[in-house]
């Protein structure tokens, strides 16, 4: 049996896909998994911030179209790249156990608080930008796009005094580098950060059954809460926001924020509730933030277009 697996061609996307395939092979040694590399719009435009070119759906659209045409059997995505609405006929059938959700600080300065005034810091997201501005108003935050290697090289070559990356990417690529992990109090992660989402055609029960071997119920519950938060805020890459949910003692906890670009008006809150209804907890948190001032921020951002 041959199964075609769709993936982006970046080093990280391939490492993630290999991880999924190797996990599946431990259960299904007789199945041949063939990687099909699909170039997405987000991979082609590397000189603009995501917020300027249309948001994160740019990394999944072409792959989803390939899935709908039957050219691949399933697709491996970074969960944080998947928009809150899935196209008709497709579903996220499997969410494996989550890698680290945290962001990390990489610099010759041990800590962001030690940086000299007006230092240059590189990041690829408005979510990080606004939270960095909240930590240090004086810093010059500059766009940093490209794969993990490219970003690290730009820092090593002195373009930045420090950069912020996802810890999960460094771990999956096996990159050994000194860094400091940001706490949740300092920097709320992106929705789905550190998790993978495996997308299939809705009717494909056979593939769904195969993937069920590597599905993590705990991660799924957390991701459901985070994505309900995102959907309620209708947030893409144009809005600085983030959320992270975790389970402890059979309860789900979620922390989230929404902010203006400069981190001036910054609304952050926490919710908790039953693991039976994670979506309700995520929605409740989003509505709390909208009421606190998030609605005004969204209106302003969308008015600017």
**Span 4-22, pLDDT tens digits:** 999 999 999 999 999 999 9
Contact 232, 286 (CB under 8 A): yes
Clarify whether residues 125 and 242 are in a common domain: no
From CA 19, how far away is CA 22, in angstroms rounded? Answer: 5
Q: Residue 270 has what pLDDT?
A: 98
Q: Residue 124 has what pLDDT?
A: 80
Mean pLDDT, residues 28-50 = 77
Kindly indicate the confidence band of residue 39, based on its pLDDT and cuts at 50, 70 and 90. confident
3-state secondary structure at position 231: helix
Is the residue at 207 inside a domain? yes
Alpha-helical (H) ranges within 116-238 are 126-135, 148-156, 167-173, 205-211, 217-233
Q: Residue 239 has what pLDDT?
A: 87
Domain count, the chain: 3
Clarify whether residues 13 and 139 are in a common domain: no
Phi first, then psi: give them for residue 208, nearest 5 degrees. -60, -40
- Asked about 81 being catalytic, the answer comes back as yes
From CA 208, how far away is CA 91, in angstroms rounded? Answer: 10
Question: pLDDT tens across 189-239, in order?
Answer: 999 999 999 999 999 999 999 999 999 999 999 999 999 999 999 765 578
What is the share, in percent, of the chain residues with pLDDT greater than 90?
A: 83
pTM: predicted TM-score of the whole model, two decimal places: 0.91
Look over the chain and give the mean of its residue pLDDT values, rounded to a whole number.
Answer: 92
Contact 254, 270 (CB under 8 A): yes
Mean pLDDT, residues 252-264 = 94
The token pair at 18 is: 């290999």
| Contacts of 84 by beta carbon, 8 Å cutoff, 6+ apart | 227, 230, 231, 234, 235
Strand partners, 94: 198
Clarify whether residues 296 and 162 are in a common domain: no
Mean pLDDT, residues 162-184 = 96
Clarify whether residues 66 and 203 are in a common domain: yes
Clarify whether residues 13 and 41 are in a common domain: yes
Question: pLDDT tens across 79-131, in order?
Answer: 998 988 899 999 999 999 999 999 999 999 999 999 999 999 999 889 999 99
Contact 126, 238 (CB under 8 A): yes
Q: Residue 53 has what pLDDT?
A: 46
Host H or E run for residue 247: strand 241-248
From CA 238, how far away is CA 296, in angstroms rounded? Answer: 14
Mean pLDDT, residues 46-63 = 63
Clarify whether residues 42 and 164 are in a common domain: no
Clarify whether residues 206 and 82 are in a common domain: yes
Is the residue at 190 inside a domain? no
- Its domain, for residue 173, covers 103-181
Candidates 81, 103, 161, 204; catalytic one:
81
CATH number at residue 147: 3.40.190.10
The alpha carbons of the chain give a radius of gyration, in whole angstroms, of 19
Contacts 24+ apart (CB under 8 A), 107-112: 107/155, 107/161, 107/162, 107/163, 108/161, 108/162, 109/161, 109/162, 110/180, 111/180, 112/136, 112/139, 112/162
By 3-state DSSP, what share of the chain in percent is helix, strand and coil, each rounded to 5? 40, 25, 35
| Contacts of 283 by beta carbon, 8 Å cutoff, 6+ apart | 228, 229, 232
| Cα–Cα distance list, 187 to 43, 59, 92, 161, 205 (Å) | 26, 24, 27, 19, 39
Contact 223, 192 (CB under 8 A): yes
Mean pLDDT, residues 149-157 = 95
- Residue whose tokens read 């926001």: 241
Clarify whether residues 107 and 228 are in a common domain: no
Q: Residue 237 has what pLDDT?
A: 58
């Amino acid at each position: 049996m041959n199964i075609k697996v769709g993936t982006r061609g970046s080093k990280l996307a391939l490492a993630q896909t290999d991880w999924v395939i190797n996990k599946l092979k431990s259960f299904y040694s007789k199945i041949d998994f063939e990687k099909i590399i699909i170039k997405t719009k987000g991979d082609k435009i590397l000189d603009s911030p995501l917020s300027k070119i249309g948001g994160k759906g740019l990394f999944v659209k072409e792959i989803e179209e390939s899935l709908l045409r039957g050219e691949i059997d399933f697709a491996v995505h970074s969960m944080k790249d998947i928009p809150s609405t899935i196209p008709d006929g497709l579903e996220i059938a499997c969410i494996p156990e989550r890698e680290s959700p945290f962001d990390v600080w990489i610099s010759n300065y041990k800590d962001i608080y030690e940086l000299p005034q007006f230092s240059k810091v590189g990041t690829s997201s408005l979510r990080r930008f606004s939270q960095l501005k909240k930590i240090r108003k004086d810093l010059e935050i500059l766009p940093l796009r490209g794969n993990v290697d490219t970003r690290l090289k730009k820092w090593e070559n002195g373009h930045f005094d420090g950069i912020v990356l996802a810890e999960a990417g460094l771990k999956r690529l096996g990159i050994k580098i000194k860094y400091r992990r940001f706490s949740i109090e300092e920097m709320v992660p992106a929705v789905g950060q550190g998790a993978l989402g495996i997308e299939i055609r809705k009717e494909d029960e056979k593939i769904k059954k195969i993937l069920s071997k590597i599905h993590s119920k705990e991660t799924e519950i957390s991701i459901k809460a985070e994505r309900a938060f995102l959907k309620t805020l209708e947030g893409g890459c144009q809005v600085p926001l983030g959320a992270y949910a975790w389970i402890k003692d059979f309860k789900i906890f979620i922390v989230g924020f929404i902010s203006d670009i400069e981190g001036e008006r910054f609304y952050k809150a926490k919710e908790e509730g039953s693991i039976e209804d994670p979506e309700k907890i995520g929605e409740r948190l989003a509505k709390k933030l909208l009421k606190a001032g998030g609605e005004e921020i969204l209106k302003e951002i969308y008015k600017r277009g």
